[in-house]
Amino acid sequence: MTVRVGIIGATGYTALETFRLLARHPEVEVTLATSRGEAGQPIASVHPSLAGRLGLEVTEFDAAVASQRCDLAMCCLPHGAAAETVRQLIEAGVRVIDFSADFRLSDLDVYTRYYGIEHPWPERIGKTVYGLPEWYAESIATADLVANPGCYPTSAILPLGPLLAAGLILPDDIIVDSKSGISGAGRTPKLNFMYCEAAESFSAYGVGNHRHQPEMADLLERFTGQQADLIFTPHLAPMDRGILSTIYVRPAPGVSLDATDRAIEAWREHYHETPFVRAVDHLPATKHVAHTNHVQLAIRRSGGRWVLIAAIDNLVKGASGAAVQNLNLMFGLEPTLGLT
Amino acid sequence: MTVRVGIIGATGYTALETFRLLARHPEVEVTLATSRGEAGQPIASVHPSLAGRLGLEVTEFDAAVASQRCDLAMCCLPHGAAAETVRQLIEAGVRVIDFSADFRLSDLDVYTRYYGIEHPWPERIGKTVYGLPEWYAESIATADLVANPGCYPTSAILPLGPLLAAGLILPDDIIVDSKSGISGAGRTPKLNFMYCEAAESFSAYGVGNHRHQPEMADLLERFTGQQADLIFTPHLAPMDRGILSTIYVRPAPGVSLDATDRAIEAWREHYHETPFVRAVDHLPATKHVAHTNHVQLAIRRSGGRWVLIAAIDNLVKGASGAAVQNLNLMFGLEPTLGLT
Amino acid sequence: MTVRVGIIGATGYTALETFRLLARHPEVEVTLATSRGEAGQPIASVHPSLAGRLGLEVTEFDAAVASQRCDLAMCCLPHGAAAETVRQLIEAGVRVIDFSADFRLSDLDVYTRYYGIEHPWPERIGKTVYGLPEWYAESIATADLVANPGCYPTSAILPLGPLLAAGLILPDDIIVDSKSGISGAGRTPKLNFMYCEAAESFSAYGVGNHRHQPEMADLLERFTGQQADLIFTPHLAPMDRGILSTIYVRPAPGVSLDATDRAIEAWREHYHETPFVRAVDHLPATKHVAHTNHVQLAIRRSGGRWVLIAAIDNLVKGASGAAVQNLNLMFGLEPTLGLT
Amino acid sequence: MTVRVGIIGATGYTALETFRLLARHPEVEVTLATSRGEAGQPIASVHPSLAGRLGLEVTEFDAAVASQRCDLAMCCLPHGAAAETVRQLIEAGVRVIDFSADFRLSDLDVYTRYYGIEHPWPERIGKTVYGLPEWYAESIATADLVANPGCYPTSAILPLGPLLAAGLILPDDIIVDSKSGISGAGRTPKLNFMYCEAAESFSAYGVGNHRHQPEMADLLERFTGQQADLIFTPHLAPMDRGILSTIYVRPAPGVSLDATDRAIEAWREHYHETPFVRAVDHLPATKHVAHTNHVQLAIRRSGGRWVLIAAIDNLVKGASGAAVQNLNLMFGLEPTLGLT
């Protein structure tokens, strides 16, 4: 069986990473690439690294065409724009993995407050599976629409979820200090992301008001039933890709500060079926997981807290790789296909 | 007046940065450069960027020679090695600014526990001024020996000190999450600091046991009289120089979470005499202070905490620039000389 | 069929890249990883990015063990050390792809002059196929020993060979100005390749005496029958991987300076069977081929010369990817298997 | 004496570098900063690294105001825009150092062909001193208008000029292969110069048609009286600043290939009065001269040619540092003031 996949919004970095991964996937054919701005161009003009690897021409988006050519659409549009397009695709009978934040949250008010727009398809808010394959594999398998997780949330909730669920840590004193490569900011030219501004520089941004904070809190509550009081600070590191999250938590009453092995056990138990999430002894670096779908988790005691470290590639496990995992689940393929 | 300065341990990055700064200093002449491994070489063989700028030949260290040639020695040796050399210099009548950690702490037991060696000159532990010019200018001016501050501590205690002293924040719940460029690791070739390991990578290290944690706690207690419960996590960012510290604190009872302006006032009041420490409105990036002696401080509210951000250049304000400030104080020169 | 592969000398960057590529190869199992210094360690201790991906333990090299466990050995040792090990493997009946320079040259005197050692197995000099799959596929298919090409030579002779063979350019006035990422220097810690020396820096090295100059000249003569007068200057660029070679040539008498399309035709004709070598219209960047086995070639007229541009990934097409191509040829597999 | 300096076009990288250098200059006060787009902002909003260092507010350009406030204008506008502004300044009696290419060439036709616009002040073409202080100090000292040199030309003509003038090399077979940091491309956001496009990438651009080729040829002819046949290829290296030019030349008849010392002598003789241009034994790296006004030159024999290597900082010696040298000459100050 070959899954025919369309990439909607083909010009950005997550689209490019998706093209790269799908080129290696033995059961996928990319049959469509759309972009408003670049229609009529060969895809290799938009992404010179695809020269000689993918012969597709970029076209304007048309839901009817998509429904003829694709079994699945991977929608790489920004929030707001995504929801409307996703609705057309679903109504045309195309299954969708949506990379935007439009269907991730379970509460419309939170969406409106953080994204500042009226939601184009509010009926699906709270009724769309969050595409974290390690948590929601069954629902993903049968979904028409999957909300692909945010990159920062992936790096935070994968380590936090099992510890909260097992009652090992307090839910009301969590600090997530995350550091990301610059590809997370997208491919639209802006001063802050120019080489000469970003290279040899490190900075925080969105302190106290980043949109991934409510996404983390929402998912942890959905997954564990506990309301998490969570502070999140994203930073920009002078590198292309990768996220390292340093997470400060307090062991729950009755859990010894020295019993970090209990956290490791909880991770191993929860993630023993997936090859992609792994507790390691060393302190992970983003380079250890770069260009892979792997997550490395570690824990240390520091003073009266535990420090959790999670490393992912923001473009792979934080976006396109998770989408390929979801594709495999949705079409009954081997979970690791195209991701080794 | 010209201050004759010797650089002891001339091969590393802080030595090089000191050479660069002193080359611009109108009242200083560098008259000595010593190194065990490189004696006999012109300094430009050790540091090719000094070719045509400094004609000195590297020699073996000899306290008697130093006392003839120098009014001041800047000692750039590693801990342990430094203390013994510093003792010889002081006994030969040379004033010293010591870049190592050997004389920074006030408690010999803490030194022994964290540095794992017997201190070569324990009598001076607790009796040496900590060379933070913004706090201890008077003692520095008359000192024979100044313990130049550590880079991470500089980035943490400069923002924390005034807030603790003013009673604006709780002393018992402080998290310092610091990110440093790789020059902080020194110039000795090691696998972890090779370009191909460190570039495009981000990682934590020394989690829960880094030597700068007790230095921060010690200084905050000395400065404010309060014992600080402080967690410190250093990280390696893929850049040459710079430290950004993200510091999570809780306002003290009676201080509103929204009253971040009170913190800014405390900083402005405390640092109004120095041009080098400045509260800014934007979120500072390490690039904003790179190659300067400046510190940029900012504050934001995030959930139930304040987030303090401090940016410094680890080689300048975190090492050689602070040393030049100390030199200016010790020899009665303009505080900013050589540092504009 | 599954090809059982041993990696001899498992600690360096080309070994790591080979592990990565073979992990994706559907017809290969890595059954052996040897290293003198790291024997007894799990491979993930040597290369943390293999954690959870390859479970092998590193062992000491033993030709008898290798002959039991492997159909093919990929030898990633440095020159000199390689030749002796290769001899033992061949004598034990294991086919070998050798990454070193020991069997690339056809002239023993040139080897001795440039590598400064007596060759451990001189009988095979001049009698070993040069593993450039685009030129020597037939001989590679049946070889017991393949000399995997050097990275710089790959970037120079792929564009030059067809143009010389077609008589389009003069053989006696060729300048190859190459720029390489730092991984080409290997993984042994040395000052020059430390992050703080190499980042934000660009330099030439080996001007007039680099060992890849005679390798280029030798191969061009073998391939075209013409003696090439070729100047080669390698440079170090502040990046992990990639080679861009800028090559200055003169059109042969009777070939118009404006007829750059004739060069493009020669490339397309010569490489039409391989998906990996491609003439492109844009000016290639190393990033366009990073982490792939692809080569992008371009040509421009500049004054009285043609300027050829070739971009490769030094670790893939310049080393491990070429080796996988050779493996596929040696075992009758699809030429692109494991390399899409 | 204090020279009052205005920066016209204050938003780009050369303007920022000029602010930095002038902040250290003991005889200069920056009294004006203009920009069309940013008028009304404090300069620290445009360049956060100037926070607390320069209190100026950005204003609209007005020649009359400039003539009241400034003894000298440093014009950092792009070509075309610069010429018209320069004319107004000169007519208002303000001396000008112009960073653009508008007054560098001696031939109006060449300007029109390469820059594609009608020159706004053609009368000054060919009648403006080229601000290379090492060649034209006397004319610069008395000039009302100085055309500050291009960055690539500085790196090429400084090494070539003395060798051509001494008859040591052939003028008709010169290849300049230059590699530049990305700051040379300016501060306007464009896709190619985004971090994620430029980092870990190396590429050529403008092959065969870059505007600095005629500037090099023009200056070499003016300086030596010989017409130079010169091929120039610029490249983009993944670094903020620095240019390394690798220059291939042939010794003139009667000059031995091995007599590279004669080239070194010619350099030393020609540049013995300036501390900024220096022949070195090692192979220079851009990092050796980063953030300085220094030029390092080296020579090697390679096959039948000489290879010249020149390293500069494109923003300092290639722009703002040269301008400060010119300022010192124009106002009778010490040649190295503000540049040590």
Residue A215 falls within a domain, yes or no? yes
How far is the alpha carbon of D299 from chain A, nearest alpha carbon, in Å?
31
CA distance C165 to chain A (A): 25
Residue C325 lies in a domain: yes
In D, minimum Cα distance to C183 occurs at D200
The ipTM estimated for the assembled molecules is: 0.97
Query: Which of D183, D190, D194 is most worth mutating to test chain A (most A CB atoms within 10 A of its CB)?
Result: D194
How large is the average pLDDT for residues B66-94? 97
Contact D287 B49 (CB under 8 A): yes
pLDDT score at A245: 98
Based on the structure, what is the number of domains in chain C? 2
Name the residue in chain C with its Cα closest to that of D249.
C175
Q: What is the pLDDT of residue C340?
A: 86
Q: How confident is the model at residue B340, as a pLDDT?
A: 86
Closest partner CB to A13 (pick from D13, D196, D198): D196
Inter-chain CB proximity C196 and B191 less than 8 Å: no
Q: Which residues of D touch B285 (CB under 8 A)?
A: 48
Domain with C281 in it: what CATH number? Answer: 3.30.360.10
The confidence score (pLDDT) of residue A340 equals: 86
Closest CA in chain C for residue B198: C195
Which chains pack against D, by 3+ Cβ pairs within 8 A? A, B, C
* Shared domain check, B191 and B113: no
How many angstroms separate the CA atoms of A90 and A70, rounded?
A: 12
Name every chain C residue with its beta carbon within 8 A of the beta carbon of D285. 201-203
Number of H helices, E strands in chain A: 12, 13
Contacts of B110 (CB under 8 A, 6+ apart): B214, B218
Q: Which residues of C touch B (CB under 8 A)?
A: 13, 181-183, 187, 189-191, 193-200, 238-240
Q: Are residues B79 and B108 in the same domain?
A: yes
D147: confidence class by pLDDT, cuts 50, 70, 90: very high
Cβ-Cβ contacts under 8 Å, C305 against chain D: 175, 231
CATH number at residue B44: 3.40.50.720
Collect all residues from B whose CB is shorter than 8 A from any CB in D. Answer: 23-24, 26, 48-49, 51-53, 199-200, 275, 278, 280, 282, 284-285, 287-292, 294, 296, 340
Q: Is D151 a catalytic residue?
A: yes
Taking an 8 Å cut-off on Cβ atoms, the answer to whether A202 and B305 are in contact is: no
Sheet containing strand B305-312, strands side by side: B203-204, B230-236, B174-180, B243-249, B305-312, B295-302, B277-279
CB contact under 8 A, D238 and C235: no
* The predicted structure's pLDDT at residue B56: 95
pLDDT at position C96, please? 98
Chains that touch B (3 or more CB pairs under 8 A): A, C, D
Cα D167 to Cα B150, B174, D136, D173, D224: the distances in Å are 56, 70, 20, 14, 9
Specify whether D111 is located in the same domain as D8: yes
CB atoms B278 and D52 under 8 Å: yes
Contacts of C242 in chain B (CB under 8 A): none
Examine the domain organization and report whether D176 and D103 are in the same domain: no
DSSP 8-class letter at A285: B
pLDDT at B1 over 90: no
Distance of alpha carbon D290 from the chain centroid: 15
- Burial level of A334, CB count in 10 A (0-12/13-18/19+)? exposed
How far is Cα A303 from Cα A43, in angstroms, rounded to an integer?
Answer: 53
> C175, D179: Cβ pair inside 8 Å?
no
Q: Which residues of B touch D285 (CB under 8 A)?
A: 48
Choice among B75, B76, B151, B196 that is catalytic: B151
- Which residues of A fall below an 8 Å CB-CB distance to D? 13, 182-183, 187, 189-191, 193-200, 238-240
The answer to whether B289 contacts D49, with C-beta atoms less than 8 Å apart, is: yes
- Contacts of residue B68, Cβ cutoff 8 Å, sequence gap at least 6: none
The 3-state DSSP class for residue B305 equals strand
pLDDT grade, residue A84 (50/70/90)?
Answer: very high
For residue C176, the enclosing domain spans: 151-314
| A182 and A289, same domain (yes or no) | yes
Phi, psi of A6 (to 5 degrees): -110, 140
Residue A137 inside a domain? The answer is: yes
Asked whether the beta carbons of C82 and C145 are under 8 A apart, the reply is no
Q: Looking at beta carbons, which residues of chain C come within 8 Å of B13?
A: 196
The answer to whether residue A149 scores a pLDDT higher than 90 is: yes
pLDDT tier at A141, thresholds 50, 70, 90: very high
Q: What per-residue confidence (pLDDT) applies to C320?
A: 98
- Tell me whether residues A196 and D189 touch, CB distance under 8 A: no
Question: Do C187 and B200 lie within an 8 Å CB cutoff?
Answer: no
Same domain, D68 and D120: yes
Cβ within 8 Å, pair D285-C237: no
Q: Do B137 and B166 share a structural domain?
A: no
Residue C260 parent element (H or E): helix C260-270
Please check whether residue A155 lies inside any domain of the structure: yes
Please give the mean pLDDT across all residues of chain B.
97
Question: Is 90 exceeded by the pLDDT of residue A280?
Answer: yes
Task: Tell how strand B203-204 and strand B230-236 pair up.
Answer: antiparallel
Interchain pair B177, A231: CB under 8 A: no
The partner residue sitting opposite D288, judged by closest CB among B51, B199, B288, is: B51
Band (B216; pLDDT cuts 50, 70, 90): very high
Instruction: Identify the closest residue of chain C to B241 by CA–CA distance.
Output: C196
Chain B residues touching residue D53 (CB < 8 angstroms): 275, 292, 294, 340
Q: Does D338 map to a domain? A: no
Are residues D88 and D43 part of one domain? yes
Same domain as B101, residue B130: yes
Question: A-chain residues within 8 Å CB-CB of C321?
Answer: none
Report which residue type is found at D3.
Answer: V
- Per-residue confidence (pLDDT) for residue A136, from 0 to 100: 98
Question: Which one is catalytic: A70, A76, A151, A196?
Answer: A151
From the list D70, D75, D76, D151, the catalytic residue is D151
Asked if the model's pLDDT at residue A327 lies above 90, the reply is yes
D236: closest chain A residue by CA:
A195
A183: chain D residues, CB-CB within 8 Å: 196
Instruction: For residues A209 and A276, state if they share a domain.
Output: yes
Please compute the mean of the pLDDT values over residues D111-127 and round it to a whole number: 95
Chain A residues with CB inside 8 Å of D238's CB? 195, 199
Which stretches of chain C drop beneath a pLDDT of 70? none
pLDDT at D340: 86
- Same-domain status, B119 and B179: no
Of residues C52, C275, C288, nearest to A49 (C-beta): C288
B152-163 pLDDT per residue, tens = 999 999 999 999
Question: Using CB atoms, which residue from D23, D26, D294 is nearest to B52?
Answer: D294
Q: How confident is the model at residue D139 (pLDDT cuts 50, 70, 90)?
A: very high
What confidence tens digit (pLDDT) does each residue in B13-58 have?
999 999 999 999 999 999 999 999 999 999 999 999 999 889 999 9
pLDDT of residue A1 exceeding 80, the answer is no
Instruction: Choose the closest CB to A48 out of C26, C53, C282.
Output: C282
Give the model's pLDDT for residue A230. Answer: 96
Instruction: Say whether D303 and C197 touch across the interface (CB within 8 A).
Output: no
Stretch D111-124: mean pLDDT, rounded? 95
Of the candidates C196, A198, A238, B286, the one whose C-alpha atom is nearest the C-alpha of residue D183 is A198
Of C263, C297, C277, nearest in space to C163 by CA: C263
What pLDDT score does D1 carry? Answer: 76
pTM: 0.97
Closest-CA residue of C relative to B191 is C189
Interface test with B, best of D16, D195, D292 (most B CBs within 10 A): D292
Query: C240 vs chain D: nearest CA distance in angstroms?
Result: 7
A95 falls within a domain: yes
Whether residue A162 is predicted with pLDDT greater than 80 in this model: the reply is yes
Q: Could you tell me if residue D339 is inside a domain?
A: no
Do A227 and A250 fall within a single domain? yes
Contacts of B181 in chain A (CB under 8 A): 200, 202
Instruction: Please give the pLDDT value at position D186.
Output: 94
A245, part of any domain: yes
- Candidates C70, C75, C76, C151; catalytic one: C151
Distance from CA of D230 to the nearest CA of A (A): 30
